[in-house]
Amino acid sequence: MKTEILEKILNDVRKTILNYSGNNSDIWFYANRFVFARLQLDERRTKNKIKKKLFQTRPACHYKECPQKKLESLKGIHLHRQDRTKGYSLKNCVLAHSECHKKMHKEESQNIPTNKSVIPRKSKKYNNGLFLYWWDLPPNLVNSLSLYTIIEFVKKDCGESCFIPFQLIRNYLAKYRQTSRGSGNWGIKVLPQKPNELAIEEPKKRTDKWKTIPVRWDKINV
């Protein structure tokens, strides 16, 4: 989005209001407030429509640690944009209690730099015979990712990495795959016998039974 164009639109509106009000500060105040309030209302209407639709189809708070996920009404419920670089749309929005919404934003700001769609995770090389690389994904990071986020799994020793859309990995991050590390981290590993796959750790299963995602390792020269 070009800011200069938006600045021009804003200046045009300002000029129009000034021309209309002449030098009368009362008229200027009224006209300015009128336009300002209506534009805000436009946004609120858009949001309300989306809220209602979401409530009809899935009346649930999106915050993973919400104590009461099922929503009984829309009272006090916020609309949250999953991808902050995008606007309010049915696809990009979820519902959350105001308190949960605050927590979502807090966790989001603690975990990922805003406006970044690629999240790098780094792993050193392991020579223990069990796995070659190991990345942990903590729940608060996972909860803060949008579907459009891409996780970059980086091998620190050789600089190779693979890019996996969060959407692809999300379904594998089930409760029964959470480990006892951290606050229930998910473990992603590269096994020696499957160097071109990411294996999703499953605490109670043998490694050869773990779900894997085929990947391609590339060295990106920056």
Nearer to Zn ion, 52 or 124 (CB): 52
Q: Return the residue of 93, 97, 146, 189 that touches Zn ion, per CB under 5 A.
A: 97
Nearer to Zn ion, 144 or 178 (CB): 144
Applying CB under 5 A, does 62 fall inside the site for Zn ion? no
Which residues, numbered 110-149, are part of the site for Zn ion (CB under 5 A)? Answer: none
In this structure, the number of other CB atoms found within 10 A of the CB of residue 213 comes to: 14
Which residues, numbered 25-54, are part of the site for Zn ion (CB under 5 A)? Answer: none
Nearer to Zn ion, 147 or 158 (CB): 147
Q: Return the residue of 50, 54, 63, 93 that touches Zn ion, per CB under 5 A.
A: 63
Element (H, E) at 221: none
Q: Return the residue of 17, 50, 54, 61 that touches Zn ion, per CB under 5 A.
A: 61
Q: How far is the CB of 46 from Zn ion (least distance, A)?
A: 15
Determine the angle formed by the axes of helices 3-21 and 25-57, rounding to 10 degrees.
130
Nearer to Zn ion, 40 or 68 (CB): 68
Instruction: Write the DSSP symbol of residue 88.
Output: S
Residue 111 and residue 57: Cα distance in Å, rounded? Answer: 30
Q: How far is the CB of 107 from Zn ion (least distance, A)?
A: 11
Q: How far is the CB of 69 from Zn ion (least distance, A)?
A: 7
Element (H, E) at 128: none
Q: How far is CA 165 from CA 16, 119, 194, in A?
A: 46, 10, 20
Q: How many residues in the chain?
A: 222
Site string for Zn ion, 72-91 (x = CB under 5 A): --------x-----------
Give 186's strand partners.
Answer: 137
Give the chain's count of helices (H) and strands (E).
5, 10
Nearer to Zn ion, 76 or 195 (CB): 76
At position 34, the amino acid (one-letter code) is: F
